[in-house]
Amino acid sequence: MNMAAPFASSSPPSGIDWSELIGEIVAGRWVNPETGLIKTVPYESVVIADSLEGREADLVRALKLGTSFKVVADAATYDAMGGRIAKALKALGSVDTLILDNPHADIATATRLADDLRGVGAVVAVGSGTINDLCKYVTGLDGRRYCVFGTAASMNGYTSTTASMTLESGLKVSLPSHAPAGFFADLGVSAAAPKHLAAAGFADCLVRSVAQVDWWLSHRLFSTLYATLPFLIQDKDEAELNARAALLPKGDMAAHGYLYRVLTLCGLGVSFTGMSNHGSMGEHQVSHYIDCFAGKRHPGTLHGQQVGVATLTMARLQQTMLASETPPLVRPTRIDPQDMARRMGTEAAAQCYAEIAPKLLDAAGAEALNETLVTLWPELRQELLAFTLPVAEMVRLLTAAGGPLTAADLGLPVDFYREAVVHCREMRNRYSFLDLAADSGLLEDFAAGEL
């Protein structure tokens, strides 16, 4: 695939005002209809438009970032948009450009980037997941404000207040960071980007139903915090996006606009709650396991592509278990720290075990959970079913968007994918249907049927 040529969309303008609701939230005028309270977010400007050409300098000027800029991009995103932004910013002051060579969002790269950005007044990121996470993390360390111009609707992290980074141990985690002062999306650029990028972003949106099921399960069984607000603000746009899934590979401007809106609203939900649970539960754990431990088996697929396959896996698991009117019967959690160390490495395994320790069930915990399930299951089952999308519909939508459906489609060894499904729950202290299935002795047999 040739990524060097500038992206250029031939799709006609959408004619849609993409600032609806988002502008109200960013301006601090949106009132939560459930509480009557105004919700605020730490962003100064979020602009999604059919085209931003000719507006770049004005958008950055309004943020008052200073008069010295460094544009950070990689080779593809520089050609797509970075060059034109660097040229436009010369009207505001001195401009330098840093083009990263095949960057990875890890601590080693972030350390080098911090050195490159030392003494720079304002950072302007041009790219998507990796570029944004690196610039967000590095500027978050010293509180330096930055802005980002998105080049592809491939993930929902543009407006989140966390950065997805890989630690020196190889463990991929979401680290607290800060929000960009401004996030700007040119739909013409994104609509013309390679098709697999939008398919990855769509998969990150398709997560909603399975993540909501997992989060509500955790809330009802263990009284963990749950919030409806992140789902409330994106509900309308999710329906609009799903109706246009098949138009994403065609570079349709409106389809990409709704994709960006759902991704943006999901990120804003993190700002409201301080948590990413509404868009990251069991399905993301599968993808994180792949990224952390596949090693040479990793096919080079995007996070969102992996999430899409894992979302279908989680949907099948959830709906299989929810089909039973009889509650699952759990046993004390069985985790083998030595096997974790064999698969993950000693340091990562120790970090993971410390993270998950609070959710591990001993005999008393298993007994108490079984008592809760016996009483709650009929009601809980109906509550959870109300959040689901039928698996067949999810398959149809992801196929229409151009996303892979199976581990084989990803180019990932199927035996390793099954390992990820069984063991990814060992990475994070978020209780999901993976935990419920494992503790009730169902997960390994289920995973053996995943392709």
Asked if residue 283 lies in contact with residue 314, where contact means CB atoms within 8 angstroms, the answer is yes
Under 8 Å between Cβ of 218 and 430 = yes
Q: How far apart are CA 16 and CA 50, in angstroms?
A: 9
Report the chain's mean pLDDT, rounded to a whole number: 93
Question: 315 and 259 in one domain?
Answer: no
Count of alpha carbons within 13 angstroms of residue 201, beta-carbon side: 36
Rounded distance between C-alpha atoms, residue 181 and residue 63, angstroms: 7
* Domain of residue 132, residue span: 22-193+247-273
In a domain, 216, yes or no: no
Q: How confident is the model at residue 251 (pLDDT cuts 50, 70, 90)?
A: very high
pLDDT band with cut points at 50, 70 and 90 for residue 3:
very low
One-letter amino acid for residue 80 of the chain: A
Q: What predicted TM-score, i.e. pTM, was given to this entire model?
A: 0.93
131, two tokens: 């570029």
- Tell whether 214 is covered by a domain: no
Give the chain's largest Cα–Cα span: 68
**286 within domain boundaries:** yes
How far, CA to CA in Å, does 226 sit from each of 158, 209, 210, 218, 272? 23, 14, 15, 9, 12
Give yes or no: residues 262 and 292 share one domain: no
The CA distance from 434 to 243, in Å, is 30
Whether 355 is in a domain gets the answer yes
Across residues 7-24, what is the average pLDDT?
A: 76
The CATH number linked to 419 is 1.20.1090
Confidence of residue 103 (pLDDT cuts 50, 70, 90): very high
Work out the average pLDDT over 179-196: 95
> Both 258 and 395 in a single domain?
no
Are residue 34 and residue 127 in the same domain, yes or no?
yes
Domain match, 257 and 291 both: no
Q: Which residue has the tokens 């120790």?
A: 350
The 8-class DSSP code of residue 44 comes to: S
**176 & 293 share domain:** no
- Statement: residue 12 has pLDDT above 80: no
Query: Which residue do the tokens 């980007």 mark?
Result: 193
Identify the CA nearest to 124 among candidates 143, 158, 148: 148
pLDDT tens, 37-80?
A: 888 888 899 999 999 999 999 999 999 999 999 999 999 999 99
R_g (Cα) of the chain, nearest Å = 22
**Is-contact 307 283, C-beta < 8 A?**
yes
Q: 96 φ, ψ to 5°? A: -120, 155
Q: Distance between CA atoms of 314 and 308, rounded to whole angstroms?
A: 10
The answer to whether residue 235 sits within a structural domain is no
For the segment 280-298, the average pLDDT, to the nearest whole number, is: 96
Q: Are residues 74 and 50 in the same domain?
A: yes
What's the Cα-to-Cα distance from 120 to each of 84, 107, 177, 215, 259, rounded to whole Å? 20, 20, 19, 41, 33
Backbone angles phi and psi of 54, in degrees to 5: 90, -10
Is the pLDDT at 11 greater than 90, yes or no? no
Q: How far apart are CA 107 and CA 434, in angstroms?
A: 29
Count Cβ atoms below 10 Å from residue 448 Cβ, excluding itself.
11
287 lies in the same domain as 152: no
Average the pLDDT over 300-313 and give the result.
97
Q: What is the pLDDT of residue 43?
A: 84
In a domain, 212, yes or no: no
Residue 198 included in any domain: no
Contacts of residue 252, Cβ cutoff 8 Å, sequence gap at least 6: 11, 191, 244
Per-residue pLDDT, averaged over 80-94, amounts to 96
* Residues forming beta bridges with residue 68, ordered by sequence position: 94
Answer yes or no: do 336 and 302 share one domain. yes
Element (H, E) at 59: helix 56-61
Which neighbouring-strand residues pair with 100? 74
pLDDT in tens, 407-437: 999 999 999 999 999 999 999 999 999 999 9
Same domain, 259 and 342: no
| Whole-angstrom distance, CA of residue 190 vs CA of residue 252 | 10
CA atoms in the 13 A half-sphere facing the CB of 443: 23
- 264 lies in the same domain as 319: no
Quick one: 84 and 163 in the same domain?
yes
pLDDT band for position 169 (cuts 50, 70, 90): confident
Domain membership of residue 338 (yes or no) is yes
Q: Give the CA distances from residue 190 to residues 87, 98, 152, 254, in Å, rounded to whole numbers and listed in that order.
A: 20, 21, 4, 11
Residue 10 pLDDT exceeds 70: no
| CATH assignment at residue 41 | 3.40.50.1970
CA pseudo-torsion sign 46, 49, 52, 55: negative
- Domain count across the chain: 2
Integer Cα distance of 320 and 243 in angstroms: 26
